[in-house]
Amino acid sequence: MHGKSLFLGLNRYLNFNPILGIHVLDHKELASTWVLVRHKSSGGMRPKRKIYYRVGELDKVMDFQKKPSLILRLINIIQSQKHKFVLLRDLEKEVGFVQKWNFMAVIEKYPSIFYVDSGGSRTPPYVRLTNKAEKIASEEANVRSAMEPVLVKNLRKLLMLSVDCQVPLESIEFIASELGLPCDFKTSLIPKYPEFFSVKEVNGKAHLQLENWDSSLAITAREGRFAEVGAGAMASRVCGKRVRISKDGNFAGPFAFKMCFPPGFRPNMSYLEHLERWQKMEFPSPYLNARRFDASDPKARKRVVAVLHEFMSMTTEKRMTSTQLDAFHREFLLPSKLLLCLLNHHGIFYITNKGVRSTVFLKEAYEGSTLTQKCPLLLHSDRFLSLCGRRDMSCNSPQVSF
Query: Could you tell me which residue, 334 or 26, shows the higher pLDDT?
Result: 334
CA distance 296 to 270: 23
**Residue 389 in this model has a pLDDT that exceeds 80:** no
The span from the CA of 246 to the CA of 265, in Å, is 14
In the sheet that 205-210 helps form, which strands lie side by side, from edge to edge? 166-168, 205-210, 197-202
Does 56-129 match 139-215 in CATH topology?
Answer: yes
Count Cβ atoms below 10 Å from residue 295 Cβ, excluding itself. 12
Identity of the amino acid at 166: Q
Measuring CA to CA, how many Å separate 27 from each of 13, 110, 212, 328?
Answer: 6, 34, 49, 30
User: What pLDDT, in 10s, does the model give residues 83-117?
Assistant: 999 999 999 999 988 889 999 999 999 999 999 98
Give tens-digit pLDDT for 161-184: 999 999 999 999 999 999 999 999
Per-residue pLDDT band at 388 (split at 50, 70, 90): confident
Distances 36 to 3, 50, 337, 366 between C-alpha atoms, Å: 15, 6, 15, 29
For the segment(s) 139-215, the CATH number from 2.20.200, 1.10.10, 2.60.40, 1.20.120 is: 1.10.10
Q: What is the pLDDT confidence band of residue 63, given thresholds at 50, 70 and 90?
A: confident
How confident is the model over 16-62, as pLDDT tens digits? 443 334 444 444 434 555 454 444 444 555 555 567 788 999 999 99
What mean pLDDT is reported for the chain? 84
- pLDDT confidence band for 66 (50 / 70 / 90): confident
Domain extents for the chain?
56-129, 139-215, 216-234+247-367
Look at residue 27 in the predicted model and tell me its pLDDT: 40
Q: What is the pTM of this model?
A: 0.83
The pLDDT score that the predictor gives to residue 4 is 35
**Start-to-end Cα distance in the chain:** 41
pLDDT tens-digit map of 123-155: 789 999 999 999 999 999 999 999 999 999 999
Per-residue pLDDT tens digits for 193-216:
999 999 999 999 999 999 999 999
pLDDT of res. 24: 44
Which among 24, 61, 33, 56 is positioned nearest to 263, based on CA atoms?
56
Residue 217 pLDDT greater than 60, yes or no: yes
Q: Among 12-21, 221-230, 381-390, whose mean pLDDT is lowest?
A: 12-21
Under the banding of pLDDT at 50, 70 and 90, the label for residue 312 is very high
- Round to whole Å and give the CA distance between 364 and 220: 15
Mean local confidence (pLDDT), 222-241: 64
Range 56-129 has CATH code 1.10.10.10 = yes
C-alpha span between 189 and 183 (Å, rounded): 10
What local confidence, expressed as pLDDT, does residue 263 receive?
85
| CB distance 258 to 228 below 8 Å | no
pLDDT for position 355: 78
In our burial notation (b when 16+ CB lie closer than 10 A, e otherwise), range 332-362 reads bbbbeebbbbbbebbbbbbbbbbeeebbbbb
